[in-house]
Amino acid sequence: MATFFGEVLSVYSRAVEDDDEEEELDENEEDKQIRRELEEKREVHLNWTPEVSEVLRSGNKLQCADFILAVGHNAARFLSVYVLTSENWDVVGRASLWNERSRPAAGKSSEDSICVFYRNKDNPSVLICQVTCYIAEDQLFQWAQKVFDCLQHRGLNVTVLSDASVADYKTADYLCSSTAPFLRSLHTTAFSGQPVCQSLEQPNIITGLSAAVLNHCQVHRIAAIAYNCYSDIIGPDSVTMETYKPALTRIGKSIQLDSSPSTDILRKFVKTTDIQSNLYI
């Protein structure tokens, strides 16, 4: 519409405006529904054995004095080779999840899509969890909260073993290849023990599930320590795995390490591949 002075004013119908608002509202509701479905799909699920489920349903929590979490292939395989080879461990639960990089195959239980919980037969207060799958950022807090909601916090000690690349380690000094692998530690204020290695220097940080667990323990005043093993080898490596051994010495008699695992066991968990130079790709 034009005015006397030549201005052009936009004219719109109220009915059209109402239709646009309804379409926008419909789109918002559709977006919310998609978001809810995606959140449900990305939910972390804990599946315990009937015995443990009965304890949790009764309102009680698992009595746990030592919780050992292994994050990464070398950390998880270290426990498989040096701890879980004995028959004193039972599988008591699994955590399953879905994300862009962890997609369980239909009808199959894949090592790369689940986290496994073990409990010591002789000492049920010792719990171990191996995590080799990728856990997305939006699932980290959820994983930590759900797992620790099942555990008794009083008297609980948490030890986290995690893999890290030496390329991510920041230092002012030259780091020669003979130095790796090596351990660095970071612990909560409630931790009163003596770390078996030096603390993680600034500006280095711990990330991923290890950081989420350490943060959860700090907030809830749980004694926890995380050991990062920095290695220059990609994939399972026997030397890197052995570097974790001192990290479990403080637990004492609760964990019995196999000091000299058989060659067959090592071959089972360490896949030997051709070593390639990274100078030429």
Query: Which CATH number do you get for residue 206?
Result: 3.40.50.10900
User: How many Å apart are CA 69 and CA 67, to the nearest integer?
Assistant: 6
Q: What is the pTM of this model?
A: 0.79
Q: Is residue 264 part of a domain?
A: yes
DSSP state of 32: H
Q: Is residue 159 part of a domain?
A: yes
Indicate the number of domains in the chain. 1
User: 29 pLDDT band (50/70/90 cuts)?
Assistant: confident
Give the mean pLDDT of the chain.
Answer: 81
Q: Is residue 83 part of a domain?
A: yes
Q: Is residue 100 part of a domain?
A: yes
Q: Is residue 278 part of a domain?
A: no
Extract the tokens encoding 209: 């599930």
- Residue 128 to residues 131, 146, 245, 266, Cα–Cα distance (Å): 10, 16, 15, 20
Q: Is residue 2 part of a domain?
A: no
Query: Where in the sequence is the domain holding 168, given as residue range(s)?
Result: 38-271
User: How many Å apart are CA 233 and CA 4, to the nearest integer?
Assistant: 80
Lowest mean pLDDT among 9-13, 71-75, 215-219, 243-247: 9-13
**pLDDT the model gives residue 279:** 40
**How do residues 82-138 score in pLDDT, each as one tens digit?**
888 877 899 999 999 888 887 665 444 444 457 999 999 989 999 999 999 999 999
**pLDDT the model gives residue 14:** 45
**How do residues 6-20 score in pLDDT, each as one tens digit?**
444 544 444 445 555
User: 183 pLDDT band (50/70/90 cuts)?
Assistant: very high
Share of the chain above pLDDT 70, in %: 75
Q: Is residue 222 part of a domain?
A: yes
Residue spans of beta strands (DSSP E) within 56-209 = 66-71, 89-96, 114-120, 126-131, 157-165, 182-187
Between 239 and 7, residue with greater pLDDT: 239
User: 199 pLDDT band (50/70/90 cuts)?
Assistant: very high
CA dihedral 269, 240, 127, 116 (to 10 degrees): -40
Q: Is residue 257 part of a domain?
A: yes
User: 178 pLDDT band (50/70/90 cuts)?
Assistant: low
